[in-house]
Chain A
Amino acid sequence: NAGVTQTPKFRVLKTGQSMTLLCAQDMNHEYMYWYRQDPGMGLRLIHYSVGEGTTAKGEVPDGYNVSRLKKQNFLLGLESAAPSQTSVYFCASSYIGRGNTEAFFGQGTRLTVV
């Protein structure tokens, strides 16, 4: 059981380049999230999805786009990368069920924009 898998694990981009981070979950979860983690700032929610075909903005959505075309995948796109987007990105998935609502996290993607 793979859980939540993020690809790639590491990436270095030049300013202005674009890229897509992929998150895949095999637990049939409805909810999926993208966070960024910066030193001293904890995890900040970028975008999230409450089901296939739906997305919503989190705390820090600017400069990012997302898509949830398939229930198991949640893609995070950077159209024109900026140094301020250097961060560690985490994807998570969860379901809301009676008595249990644990979010499962991927191992993270370390992105450096130079």
Chain B
Amino acid sequence: GEDVEQSLFLSVREGDSSVINCTYTDSSSTYLYWYKQEPGAGLQLLTYIFSNMDMKQDQRLTVLLNKKDKHLSLRIADTQTGDSAIYFCAEMKAAGNKLTFGGGTRVLVKP
């Protein structure tokens, strides 16, 4: 959707860190999410962050939120071939509780 933007593609070598970026427009968003979609499958929630937080870490995943710039990032440490997928950023808008997604970033992990 127009309100949430992501880059289309990211290529990374196995073992390196991946950083996927996302920008959003609604400063009143309550929650921001990262979802993963593998080929032919639905979306799986990876992690989320509440809008009053700056950072959240969950094993290999680190989410950074810059509220001033409305910028969200997902860092995947020690990227594995199984991390190859499409990653979606999403925001929960305070008005109407709409869940809006970005266009997705396709991550390709090369051995």
Give residues in A with beta carbon < 8 Å to B.
Answer: 31, 33, 35, 40-45, 48, 50, 56, 58-59, 90, 92, 94, 96, 99, 101-108
Contacts and interface: CB of A to CB of B under 8 A. Distances in A.
Given A43-B88, A59-B1, A105 B98 contact: no
A101 B42 contact: no
B102 A42 contact: yes
| Chain B contact residues: helix, strand, loop or mixed | strand
Contacts of B104: 42-43
A104 B33 CA distance: 12
Interface residues of B, number: 25
B99 A33 contact: yes
| Chain A contact residues: helix, strand, loop or mixed | strand
Interface string B35-72: 00000011111001010000000000000000000000
B8 interface: yes
Interface of B: 1, 6, 8, 30-31, 33, 41-45, 48, 50, 88, 90, 92, 96-104
8 contacts: A42-B88, A43-B43, A92-B43, A92-B99, A96-B92, A101-B31, A107-B42, A108-B42
Contacts of A40: 8, 103
Contacts of B88: 42-43
A28 B99 CA distance: 18
A43 B101 contact: yes
